[in-house]
Amino acid sequence: MSPWMLIQHHKASEYYDRAIDHFEQIYEDSAESARIMALVVHPYIMGAPHRLKYFRRIIETLRQKADIVFMTGEQILDWYLQAGPKAP
Amino acid sequence: MTGPMLPRERCDYSAIVDRPVMKLPGGARIVIWTIVNLEVWDIAKPMARQVIPAPTGIPLLPDVPNWSWHEYGMRVGVWRFFELYHKLGIAPTLSINARVCEDYPRVARQAHQAGWEFMGHAYEQGPIHKEADQKAMIHRSLGVIEDFTGKRPVGWLGPGLTQTLETPEWLAEAGIKYIGDWVYDDEPTLIRTANGPLVTLPYTVELNDIPMMMVQHHESTQLLNRVTDSFDRLYAESEQRPKILSLAIHPYISGQPFRIKYLEAIYDYVNRFEGVVHWNGEQILDWYLGQTAAGQKRA
């Protein structure tokens, strides 16, 4: 997310817009095979008062879907190692 | 002649309003030329572009984060393009580093089977000024593509649109008929080389996701907004003379999940209008050569 706000200089709401656009596409893709969406934030950027609400809204929006889960990296790893098939 | 020609010496200045009006067949008004760019970013070299700079801004090799950013386009993004153009029944022009045929045959084969035009785009990505032997690189690039598809490309786009003053000579000598590097007109033009003329097609650095997204840093919606704004204007002008709208995209940029729907929406929009055709570069070339031949006969 530092590219997004501090290099590309988008306004704060772009974080929300891009994340939701991204989610909608891979949610559709996930009808065929599971998808993972990564969200990267830094406290000195997204934790700023003028940005935080857009991050919060993403989580609020995603949580409305019954068929998505929130996992840590290690949880994704363990799931992947069990689930296969493995991409080369 | 003592040295290579300057661009101004290759073509006379021509005002678009002074030229005879060409005609598209079947009552068409506007040609949409879609160009998909496929590249090879060699991990041993600095990456062609960077979405994320190294911490503290010191560039280091190998540049794995930016290499893998581009690689996403070949593994995932381009497959969104294939699905879209299959659904639309459109076969774009592929601006392809010849090395894609060697490193990503799965991708090149898919494009070939879908009937996409292969346009030469150097052997791998990097400014053409740095080529030790430009003539050999051009022949190698066209040869690799010809071996892969069975057809020698008639079109060429320099890597990053780069040329040296000598490049047009080498391209014409190698059998190239059109280039996309000269974005100086709405219409095709003819330029001189010591080895016969080349046609310039109106490729685009404006309706192009690299400048728009990665240099100018616009929001994802800007691709749709800018293309439909251009289309509206060109469509209105096409009442007077035929127009060509070019759209240049890269799978690691427009193939991202958060951008693809705006690309899809472009085609939903333009296809609602009468007289819109989707052609590749060679089709535009053939039409233009037919028009200029007819024009010469009339004159």
Domain ranges of chain A: 2-83
| B194 belongs to a structural domain | yes
| B21 belongs to a structural domain | no
Number of inter-chain CB pairs under 8 A, A vs B: 34
Decide: helix, strand or coil at residue B13. Answer: coil
Query: Who among B52, B219, B257 is closest to A25 (CB)?
Result: B257
Kindly give, in sequence order, each residue whose CB lies less than 8 Å from that of residue B22, ignoring residues fewer than 6 positions away: B187, B241, B242, B288, B291, B295
Give CA–CA dist B191/B197, Å, rounded. 6
Amino acid present at B5:
M
A-facing residues of B in 242-281 (CB < 8 A) are 256-261
| B10 belongs to a structural domain | no
| B16 belongs to a structural domain | no
| B14 belongs to a structural domain | no
Task: Tell me the residue range of the domain where B113 lies.
Answer: 27-298
Look at the pTM and tell me if it is higher than 0.90. yes
Contact A21 B259 (CB under 8 A): yes
Give CA–CA dist B203/B205, Å, rounded. 7
The pLDDT tens digits along chain B (299 residues) read 568 999 999 999 999 999 999 999 999 999 999 999 999 999 999 888 888 888 777 778 999 999 999 999 999 999 999 999 999 999 999 999 999 999 999 999 999 999 999 999 999 988 999 999 999 999 999 999 999 999 999 999 999 999 999 999 999 999 999 999 999 999 999 999 999 999 999 999 999 999 999 988 999 999 999 999 999 999 999 999 999 999 999 999 999 999 999 999 999 999 999 999 999 999 999 999 999 887 666 55
Beta-strand ranges (E) seen in chain B are: 30-38, 93-96, 117-120, 155-156, 178-179, 189-191, 198-200, 243-249, 276-278
| B278 belongs to a structural domain | yes
Residue of A13, A22, A26, A54 to mutate when probing chain B, most B C-beta within 10 A: A22
Amino acid present at B288:
Y
Query: Who among A17, A19, A22 is closest to B219 (CB)?
Result: A17
* Chain A environment of B256 (Cβ under 8 Å): 22
ipTM of the complex: 0.85
Structural domain total, chain B: 1
Query: Who among A10, A19, A22 is closest to B219 (CB)?
Result: A10
Q: What is the CATH number of the domain that holds B122?
A: 3.20.20.370
| B6 belongs to a structural domain | no
* Chain A environment of B53 (Cβ under 8 Å): 7
pLDDT at A3: 74
Give CA–CA dist B18/B189, Å, rounded. 14
